[in-house]
Chains A and B, each alone.
Chain A
Amino acid sequence: MSEGAAGRLQAVLDAIPYVRFLGMGAELAGDEMTAILPFKPSLVGNPMVPALHGGAVGAFMEMTALAQLSIVEPARRQPKTIDVTIEYLRPAREVTTYARADVRKLGRRIANVHVEAWQEARASPVAFLRGHFLLSLPLQAD
Chain B
Amino acid sequence: MFDLKAATALAERMMRTPQVVALGFEFLGLEPSVAKVKAPYRADLVGDPATGVIAGGVVTTLLDHTCGLAIKAADSAYAASATLDLRIDYMRPAQPRRDILARAHCYKLTHTIAFLRAVAYEVDPDDPVATAQGVFVLSGAPPAGGSA
Contact = CB atoms under 8 A, between A and B. Distances in A.
Chains A and B come from one and the same complex: yes
A91 interface: yes
Contacts of A81: 56, 90
Given A58-B64, A77-B50, A46 B80 contact: yes
Interface residues of A, number: 37
Interface of A: 15-18, 20-22, 41-48, 52-56, 58-60, 62-63, 77-78, 80-88, 91
B46 interface: yes
Contacts of B83: 54, 86, 88
A85 B58 contact: no
Given A17-B46, A18-B47, A78-B50, A56 B86 contact: no
A16 B55 contact: yes
Contacts of A20: 44
Interface residues of B, number: 37
Contact of A82 (B43, B85, B90, B147): B90
Nearest to B134: A86
Contacts of A77: 50
B50 A43 contact: no
B86 A42 contact: no
